[in-house]
C-alpha cells in the first residue's frame, strides 16, 4: 500500500528550491558586506539589521521568481503524467538559469569594485563597444576561472533540480492525492505573498532599500538581479544630452547666477552665503495642498468661494499670484520641491527611477534642525520614500501605520483633517522634548477622487451649487467642489491648532498646490490659460506664519523649485546648490521665470513663462504668446524676436540642464562645488 503524506512531495520540492536560493542570496549579501565593509561607517552599524531584513525580502522575491517555472511544471505534471519525461530539459534549463544569476552577481561585484555602484540596466551599454569591453574584462578579471565556476555552478544546480523533480513525484499519491488543487493554489498564494514583500497597501519596492542616507547601506540592501529589472525602463526611456546642455550653458548659468561659470565642466554649482547677523532659527512647515490650482480657488471664483480660508490667509501673508508647478503630477511635485530640480522625465516620474535617487538637498545645510515628513497614506506611493529617506538627513517619516490616531478615510489613507491634527500633535510634543527648530513637510491628498468627506469633519457642511455652475467654474462635479472646500476647511482647523502653540510665532509656513488641474470650461479664467494648458501648472504660493508681519502680493513668476532656496534665504542660512531653484525673495532678485513641462501629451511640451509671455514648444513647432491677451493664440515671435530667442534658450536650456542634473546632483560630489 502506498504511503500517503500530508504535504505532497512536489510542494516540498518547490519550497526547498525557494529556500535554497534564498539562502544562497543571503550568503552573497554577507560576502558583499565582508568584501566592501570599509565603506561602512560605524555610525551606520545599527542599520545593518534593517538592511538584512529588507534585503532578505528582495532575495525572497528573486527566489520565488526563479521558482515559478518549476512550480508551473509541477502543476502540469499533476494533470499530464507524460510530461515527467521532460524532467531532464527542466534540469538543464535551471542549470543555465542559475549560472546566469551567478554571472549577474559576478558582474555586480566587479561593477561595484570599479565604480562603487550596484549593477543596473546601463551595464548593457557596454555591448555597444563589445570587443573593447571584452578586452578590458579579460585584462582585468580572471575570466577563465569565472567561466569554470559558472559551468560547475550550473551543472550542480541542474543535477540538484533533477533530483528535486524525482523526489517530487516518487510516490503514487503525488499524482492522485485529492487535495492537490488546494495545495497548488496554496503554494501560488504563498509565492505571491513572498513576492509582494510586506503587509501594506503597496508592495515592496526598490525605494525600500534607500532607508539610509549612507550609500553603502542602501547598496548592501539591493538585490543586483532585481536592480537590473527595476532600472531597465528608465535607462531605455531617459537619459541626458551633454552636448545640448553645453549649447545652452551660458544663458542658463547666467539665469541661475553661477559664480564661476565653466562650460567645459558644465559647472552649475554656486554657493549662497548669508550674512551671519541675518540668521533666524525659524521653524519651517512646507504644505503640499493636493490640486490647489489657481483656477479652482476663491481668488478666481469669488462668488462660489471654494477656499475662503486660503484667501483669508493670503490676505494677511505673502501671496505669489504667478506661481507654477513645472509638471502636473503629485510625485513630480514632491521631487521638484525637495530637490529644486524640475521633474522633466518622460517616463513615469523621477521618484520612481532608482538611477537618480541620490540627490543633494539644500535643506540638509540645516544640520541643527529636526526634519519631518507627514503623509496620510504610504510613502511607498510614487516611490517617494527613496528620495526622502535617502536624501533628507535624519528625517522622521510619519505615514500610515505610524499615527497615534489613525482612522483610514479611503485609498489615500487618513483624512487631511486627521493628518493636520497628527502633524500638530507630533510637532508640539517633540518641540517640547527636543527644543530644536524643525523643518516639516505635510503632504495632503484628500482633494482627490473618490472625494471622501470623513464622518469626523469638524463641523464641515457641504454645499450644492449645481453641476452646471460647478463645470463653468473649473470643477468636474459638485462632489469635487465640496472636496476642495473640505481641504480648505482642514487647513483652517490646522491653523486654529497651531496658532495656540508656543512655536507658532517662530514658524514660517509655505502653502501651495502640488499641481494645477485641467478644466475645459473654466469660464472664470482668461481663455489663454485654458487653451495653452497653463491651468495645469498655475498654483498659488502663500508664505505665512508668525514671522510674516506684512502682507504683500508678488506678481513675479516663480516655481516650485524655488521654495526651499527661498526658505533658506528667510532663515538667513548659507548653502551650496547645483539645482534650478533660486531664492526669489533675495535682495538681489533673480530674473523671474518658470519652466513648464507637459509630460502627459505626445510629443511633450517644453515651455517657459515670464511676465505675461509664454514660450511654447511641441514636436518641433514653437511660438511666443501673450497668454492673458484676447489674441492669446497669436504667435508673436516674429514681432519680438529678441524676447523669443531669450525665452527659447531658457526653456530648452533649463529642460536639458534638469535632465543633466538628475545624474550630476549627487551628495557624494558636494565637495566639487
Under 8 Å between Cβ of 382 and 351: yes
Under 8 Å between Cβ of 541 and 293: no
- Rounded to the nearest integer, the mean pLDDT of the chain is 91
- The CATH code belonging to domain 271-591 is 3.40.720.10
pTM comes to 0.86
Task: Please give the pLDDT value at position 567.
Answer: 98
Question: What are the residues facing 51 on neighbouring strands?
Answer: none
Pairing mode, strands 413-414 and 552-554: unpaired
Task: Please give the pLDDT value at position 172.
Answer: 54
User: d(Cα 571, Cα 369) in Å, to the nearest integer?
Assistant: 12
User: d(Cα 382, Cα 199) in Å, to the nearest integer?
Assistant: 17
Where do you find CATH 3.40.720.10 in the chain?
A: 271-591
Q: How far is CA 628 from CA 120, 526, 613, 625, 631, in A?
A: 47, 6, 8, 9, 8
User: d(Cα 358, Cα 266) in Å, to the nearest integer?
Assistant: 19
Under 8 Å between Cβ of 119 and 224: yes
Task: Please give the pLDDT value at position 346.
Answer: 85
Question: What are the residues facing 593 on neighbouring strands?
Answer: none
User: d(Cα 367, Cα 647) in Å, to the nearest integer?
Assistant: 37
Tell which wins on pLDDT, 543 or 274: 543
E-state strands within 248-333: 270-272, 283-289, 318-324
Task: Please give the pLDDT value at position 669.
Answer: 44
Angle (CA) 388 577 340, round 5°: 50
Instruction: Tell me the per-residue pLDDT of 378-394, one tens digit each, with 9 for 90 and over.
Output: 998 888 999 999 999 99
Under 8 Å between Cβ of 289 and 512: yes
User: d(Cα 637, Cα 615) in Å, to the nearest integer?
Assistant: 9
Where residue 552 falls among pLDDT bands split at 50, 70, 90? very high
Task: Please give the pLDDT value at position 175.
Answer: 47
How deeply is 115 buried, as exposed, middle or buried, from its count of CB atoms within 10 A (0-12, 13-18, 19+)?
A: exposed
Q: Is 198 a residue whose pLDDT tops 80?
A: yes
Q: Please compute the mean of the pLDDT values over residues 594-612 and round it to a whole number.
A: 92
Under 8 Å between Cβ of 421 and 456: no
Amino acid at each position: 500500500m502506498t504511503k500517503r503524506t500530508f504535504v505532497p512531495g512536489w510542494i516540498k520540492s518547490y519550497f526547498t528550491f525557494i529556500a535554497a536560493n534564498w539562502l544562497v542570496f543571503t550568503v552573497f549579501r554577507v560576502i558583499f558586506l565582508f568584501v566592501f565593509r570599509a565603506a561602512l561607517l560605524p555610525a551606520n552599524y545599527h542599520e545593518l539589521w534593517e538592511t538584512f531584513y529588507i534585503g532578505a525580502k528582495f532575495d525572497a522575491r528573486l527566489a520565488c521568481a526563479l521558482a515559478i517555472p518549476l512550480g508551473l511544471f509541477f502543476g502540469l505534471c499533476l494533470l499530464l503524467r507524460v510530461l515527467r519525461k521532460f524532467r531532464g530539459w527542466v534540469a538543464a534549463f535551471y542549470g543555465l538559469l542559475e549560472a546566469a544569476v551567478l554571472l549577474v552577481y559576478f558582474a555586480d561585484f566587479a561593477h561595484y569594485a570599479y565604480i562603487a555602484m550596484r549593477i543596473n540596466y546601463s551595464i548593457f551599454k557596454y555591448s555597444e563597444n563589445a570587443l573593447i569591453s571584452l578586452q578590458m574584462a579579460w585584462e582585468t578579471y580572471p575570466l577563465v576561472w569565472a567561466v569554470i565556476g559558472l559551468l560547475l555552478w550550473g551543472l550542480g544546480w541542474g543535477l540538484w533540480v533533477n533530483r528535486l523533480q524525482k523526489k517530487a513525484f516518487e510516490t503514487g499519491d503525488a499524482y492522485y492525492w485529492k487535495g492537490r488543487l488546494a495545495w497548488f493554489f496554496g503554494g501560488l498564494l504563498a509565492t505571491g505573498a513572498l513576492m509582494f514583500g510586506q503587509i501594506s497597501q503597496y508592495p515592496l519596492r526598490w525605494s525600500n532599500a534607500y532607508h539610509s542616507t549612507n550609500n553603502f547601506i542602501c547598496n548592501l540592501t539591493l538585490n543586483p538581479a532585481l536592480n537590473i529589472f527595476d532600472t531597465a525602463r528608465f535607462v531605455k526611456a531617459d537619459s541626458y544630452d551633454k552636448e545640448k546642455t553645453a549649447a545652452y550653458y551660458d544663458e542658463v548659468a547666467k539665469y541661475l547666477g553661477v559664480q564661476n561659470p565653466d562650460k567645459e565642466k558644465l559647472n552649475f554649482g554656486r554657493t549662497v552665503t548669508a550674512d551671519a547677523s541675518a540668521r533666524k532659527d525659524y521653524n519651517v512647515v512646507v504644505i503640499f495642498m493636493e490640486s490647489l490650482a489657481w483656477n479652482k480657488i476663491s481668488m478666481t471664483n469669488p462668488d462660489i468661494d471654494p477656499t475662503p480660508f486660503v484667501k483669508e490667509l493670503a490676505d494677511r501673508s505673502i501671496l505669489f499670484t504667478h506661481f507654477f508647478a513645472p509638471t502636473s503630477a503629485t510625485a513630480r511635485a514632491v521631487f521638484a520641491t525637495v530637490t529644486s530640480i524640475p521633474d522633466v522625465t518622460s517616463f513615469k516620474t523621477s521618484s520612481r527611477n532608482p538611477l537618480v535617487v541620490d540627490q543633494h538637498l539644500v535643506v540638509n545645510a540645516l544640520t541643527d534642525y529636526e526634519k519631518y515628513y507627514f503623509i496620510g497614506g504610504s510613502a511607498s506611493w510614487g516611490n517617494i520614500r527613496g528620495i526622502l529617506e535617502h536624501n533628507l538627513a535624519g528625517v522622521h517619516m510619519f505615514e500610515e501605520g505610524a499615527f497615534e490616531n489613525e482612522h483610514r478615510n479611503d485609498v489615500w489613507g487618513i483624512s487631511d483633517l486627521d493628518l493636520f491634527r497628527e502633524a500638530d500633535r507630533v510637532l508640539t510634543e517633540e518641540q517640547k522634548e527636543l527644543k530644536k527648530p524643525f523643518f516639516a513637510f505635510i503632504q495632503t491628498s484628500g482633494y482627490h477622487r473618490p472625494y471622501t468627506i470623513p464622518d469626523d469633519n469638524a463641523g464641515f457642511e457641504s454645499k450644492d451649487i449645481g453641476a452646471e455652475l460647478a463645470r463653468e467654474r473649473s470643477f468636474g462635479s459638485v462632489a469635487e467642489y465640496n472636496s476642495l472646500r473640505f481641504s480648505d476647511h482642514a487647513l483652517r482647523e490646522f491653523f486654529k491648532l497651531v496658532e495656540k502653540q508656543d512655536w507658532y510665532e517662530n514658524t514660517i509656513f509655505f502653502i501651495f498646490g502640488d499641481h494645477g488641474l485641467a478644466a475645459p470650461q473654466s469660464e472664470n479664467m482668461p481663455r489663454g490659460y485654458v487653451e495653452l494648458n497653463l491651468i495645469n501648472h498655475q498654483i498659488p504660493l502663500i508664505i505665512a506664519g508668525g514671522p510674516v508681519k506684512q502682507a504683500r502680493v508678488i506678481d513675479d513668476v516663480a516655481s516650485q523649485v524655488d521654495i526651499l532656496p527661498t526658505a533658506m534665504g528667510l532663515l538667513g542660512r548659507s548653502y551650496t546648490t547645483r539645482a534650478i531653484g533660486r531664492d526669489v525673495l533675495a535682495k538681489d532678485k533673480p530674473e523671474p521665470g518658470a519652466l513648464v513641462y507637459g509630460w502627459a501629451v505626445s510629443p511633450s511640451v517644453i515651455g517657459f513663462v515670464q511676465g505675461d509671455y509664454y514660450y511654447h514648444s511641441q514636436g518641433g513647432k514653437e511660438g511666443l504668446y501673450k497668454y492673458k491677451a484676447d489674441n492669446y493664440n497669436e504667435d508673436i515671435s516674429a514681432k519680438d524676436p529678441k524676447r523669443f530667442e531669450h525665452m527659447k534658450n531658457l526653456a530648452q536650456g533649463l529642460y536639458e540642464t534638469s535632465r543633466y542634473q538628475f545624474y550630476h546632483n549627487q551628495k557624494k560630489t558636494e565637495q566639487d562645488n
